[in-house]
Structure 1
């Protein structure tokens, strides 16, 4: 289900039985319903089918029908955004506090910009961008996108290291093979392109054979390149992405556990607080049991604790 946060007042927080009244309450119930999500997903997929059909030539009488369907999609997506905004009641600006909402609004509103009419390429790009909206309806896809975004700093460091490594090997390749193989290593540009294609290892047998014809020592160049770049660097990239995937999955689980509940205002959802408190109590009981075993205290032999008079 999609999380549509309600204004953070004491009586209208998500999860409360008393929901917002009137039109806002109806819109909130609609947005949180499973049928609404399924309908939007079907519309997005139908929009993709129409875009695919439009790539064929000589559509004949189907052309006007496809144009009519495009206007139906526009009206439906505008109505969807309107319902989502109205679900925020007296704080419609909170709609833009969430990244996916902003993306949906931009993709829907961009279709009405001046100049985006007819059969322009930019208009088709905007229409194709609607297909990306399917990501918000799939927790798995959201986790992957969040992981890719969280891995950007690590990927940037990896790209810097990979760029330096490729440049060093490119210069070495130009010095070693520049005269013998000018098509592959004639300058730094061709050398870098050859090494980049070599990352797939498809051209490795041919390059090794050409290098061995020049000198057996060229095998050291290619073996070291494959070990450092193909094995080591690519494994580092995979490790960065996998680590970001785990962090994004933990974040997704935390958001599912507590969609907006934070009564104490500490920034940690209440459900997570309860889980942490339960774990601490379990640890405390384990420590008490260990102390009882060390002190050899028998629970059955201890005198009962005196009861306090409630009066």
Structure 2
């Protein structure tokens, strides 16, 4: 029982090591990325009814081939974490890949063509795993959502206020643009992008010269202040995403298994952990000293081999 229990972790480590050799190889990443691009091309071909009618069987075979390849890929990635399964589920990209691949096997999804096409389209997003810059941008977009929600709230209030003022001042003379609250909001939303600003200002000047103050203040607040605030939120989120990516890479390097399969614990400032590392380094130096002393080393004729030079090197190592 003890031998069988001891062999199980070693087997898991061996399986994980072999799977990691495959998944961490460059050719594997290139092959999966090529499959994702090929899957995107096939999805585009399926939008042409003539080609679907002519190559229906071939497209169906290609879909099953893609599904098989992606299933093998996710199994290899899961096998690479056989010695530490919890690490596989802590990675959000692994969860996303697993959900996209497994969803294709559910009967109620396969029977719904629209949902199945959307899930197949989600495979294209998996290309972000192999493009670090794209992955950082997606993370930045997700982290910027709270700030974007605040921006939308302030922008909505600004639009409502200016739409009401525009309806009160210009609804009688310019019903096409300010005849109702909805028309006024649509007009001001387009003006936020500076689209048609010249025509709107000329039409307003025909009504009143004070309309110039209305349009100038709105463009200043909506097109310059609010948009720059949104850009600032996105840039801040992008910097946070880059820092988070760097921290994850450092953590992965610290917790990566060594040749024996045991992960290196990251140093967190614990003095006990530092003392253990120093003790390990000292034992390694002692082993090196003994190996140097036991190895034959030619010295001067009046000295025995490996005596003085080895002792000097050993004293330097102890220092």
Task: Provide the residue aligned with 1:98 in structure 2.
Answer: 91
Task: Provide the residue aligned with 1:220 in structure 2.
Answer: 213
Structure with the bigger RCO (C-alpha within 8 Å, sep 6+) is 1
SS of 2:108's equivalent in the other structure is coil
SS of 1:264's equivalent in the other structure is coil
Answer whether contact 2:155 2:222 (CA < 8 A) is retained. Answer: yes
- Match for residue 199 of structure 1 among 181, 184, 192: 192
| CA deviation map 1:249-290 (0-9, x unaligned) | 2222333344241533459xx9xxxxxxxxxxxxxxxxxxxx
Task: Provide the residue aligned with 1:164 in structure 2.
Answer: 157
1:28 maps onto 2:20 in alignment: yes
Aligned-residue offset at 1:19 = 11
Alignment of 1:65-144 (within 5 A): 65-117=58-110, 120-144=113-137
Q: Which runs of 5+ in 2 are unaligned?
A: 1-8, 255-264, 274-317
| Counterparts of 1:239 and 1:250, CA distance in 2 | 17
Aligned-residue offset at 1:22 = 2.5
| Counterparts of 2:238 and 2:121, CA distance in 1 | 26
Task: Provide the residue aligned with 2:267 in structure 1.
Answer: 264
Aligned-residue offset at 1:39 = 0.9
Q: C-alpha root-mean-square deviation of aligned residues, in Å?
A: 2.4
TM-score normalized by structure 2? 0.74
TM-score normalized by structure 1? 0.76
- Match for residue 239 of structure 1 among 232, 235, 244: 232
Q: Which runs of 5+ in 1 are unaligned?
A: 1-11, 13-17, 271-309
Answer whether contact 1:169 1:225 (CA < 8 A) is retained. Answer: yes
SS of 2:49's equivalent in the other structure is coil
Aligned-residue offset at 1:150 = 1.7
Aligned length: 254
| CA deviation map 1:187-242 (0-9, x unaligned) | 21111111111112121111111111111110110011000100111011111111
Change (3 A) 1:85 1:238: same
Q: Larger C-alpha radius of gyration, 1 or 2?
A: 2
